[in-house]
A and B are shown apart, each in its own frame.
Chain A
Amino acid sequence: MSLTGLFLITFLIVHCYINAQIFWNDGGKSFDELAHFMGTNVVIRTIEIGLFAFLILHIVQGLMLWAKNRAKRSSKYAVKAGNVNSKWYSRSMGLLGTLILIFLVVHIGMFWAPNRTAQTFGDGELPLYDMMRDEFQHPGIVALYLFGCISLAWHLLHGFYSAFQTLGLAMHKYKMMIKNIGIGFSIIVPLIFALMPIAFYFGWIQ
């Protein structure tokens, strides 16, 4: 969980950096350049296979852990402590992960899958920047992306710290540091992602 989770976090950083190129508002020039590199470079395409493998591994491990842990208390409490002794999102990682997964299926179906199909069987890469601009004119799609970003933020708010704790690193002076970096990361990265559909929708970038 922790290793796959940290790998996915690394992916998020790269993904966020590349997509943030749209904010140059240069008609997608900077973005398309990097996207072209990422979509065609052999090394990156190999790492991409690893990314999917790790994503699936993370999901399978997560759901198995969730199912296993659920089965350890067959007789449930009548009164639940709820948020008194723990945070709701730390208890809802399986649910939050599933929400992210639902978003991911739509998201991958929107950009990645058509692009790879066109690359392999069609006339080459698709104009991703123009596709983004078009898709994000629909309020429904913008709403879905915001929903995905919010789920991700809550998932990371527990997941970031949790990964370091699982690896035995959240100790002594590092504990608060990791917690705080985790909070910062969980707010900033999903926020930058969320600003992308918003900026296109309101025409801040063309």
Chain B
Amino acid sequence: MEHYNMSLTLKVWRQKNNKEQGKFETYSVKDISSEMSFLEMFDVLNEQLIAEQKEPIAFDHDCREGICGMCSMVINGRPHGPWHHTTTCQLHMREYKNGDTIVVEPFRADAFPVIKDLAVDRTAFDRIIQAGGYVSVNTGNAVDANSIPIEKHSADEAFASAACIGCGACVAACPNASAMLFTSAKVSHLAMLPQGAPERKTRVVDMVEQMDKEGFGGCTNIGACEAECPKGISLENIARLNREYMGAMLDGGSQNAV
């Protein structure tokens, strides 16, 4: 693809902290290369702000290669921008043309309070994992990977669910700010493996309980999460979570399930 430079108008959400009201500020950037990533474009804008003695924009990022899930931004209404199965860091500026206006907002959900500007606090996800998204194993040497045979189909499905990077785009996209896609992916990948079997029932009940406690909304199967998930996590995971949950509850819930 041919390289080109562009000038853009950016409307970016600025918010000092969780307490203060935020608002949009408008910035212009020039000479943005079509080969830059969206975050590199933000680096250019931040350099510019620093040179003007202004406060740079806070935004989350880490790996910049689409695997860590940190780069939370809602770009023109879409978590991670317009590209399918793509994180913000993998969105490239060739998507845009000279003169475009781009609106950038944080992931908005009461369960993800704004830390500053575009950076939001997603530790609610960590607490959902801590509630049950693990397997308890004995310490010692790592067990040989092939010591427990796993059927290929289950292994593949579990792997597809485990691809969730915990980015929170599903919550950001959901009109209900529900965390069902994330939680269901985490429940699913362990539910389909023999290693996850002993804690299968307590896991799902405890994780769902924590999810509700964190203040996420209820799932009404709208499907915006699946459409925006950078890792292609399927809604079938939610069906599986519902199934696991009903099974566990019929069996007496968390306390008696072990």
Residue pair A171, B240 in contact (C-beta under 8 Å)? yes
Q: Contacts A77-B77, A81-B78, A85-B224 known; A168 to B109 CB distance under 8 Å? A: no
Which chain B residue shows the least CB distance to A74? B110
By a CB distance below 8 angstroms, the chain A residues around B235 are 165, 170
**Chain A 85-99 against B: per-residue CB contact (8 Å), 1 yes, 0 no?**
111001101000000
Q: Contacts A72-B217, A84-B77, A84-B78 known; A171 to B236 CB distance under 8 Å? A: yes
**Chain B 58-96 against A: per-residue CB contact (8 Å), 1 yes, 0 no?**
000000000000000010111000000000000000000
B206 within 8 A of A: no
Contact-size category for B: 35 or more
Residue pair B221, A158 in contact (C-beta under 8 Å)? yes
Residue pair A85, B173 in contact (C-beta under 8 Å)? yes
Specify which of B109, B221, B228 lies most central, judged by the most chain A CB atoms within 10 Å of its CB.
B221
A47 within 8 A of B: no
By a CB distance below 8 angstroms, the chain A residues around B217 are 68-69, 72-73
Contact-size category for A: 20 to 34
A161 within 8 A of B: yes
CB distance from A68 to the nearest CB of B (A): 6
By a CB distance below 8 angstroms, the chain B residues around A165 are 221, 235, 238-239, 242
Residue pair A85, B242 in contact (C-beta under 8 Å)? no
Residue pair A170, B239 in contact (C-beta under 8 Å)? yes
Residue pair B224, A81 in contact (C-beta under 8 Å)? yes
Which residues of B are interface residues toward A (Cβ below 8 A)?
11, 13, 22, 24, 74, 76-78, 103, 105, 108-111, 114, 173, 175-178, 215-224, 227-228, 235-236, 238-244, 246
Would you mind naming 13 contact pairs between A and B with Cβ atoms under 8 Å apart?
A72-B110, A72-B215, A74-B110, A81-B78, A84-B78, A86-B224, A90-B223, A161-B221, A162-B220, A168-B241, A168-B244, A170-B239, A171-B243
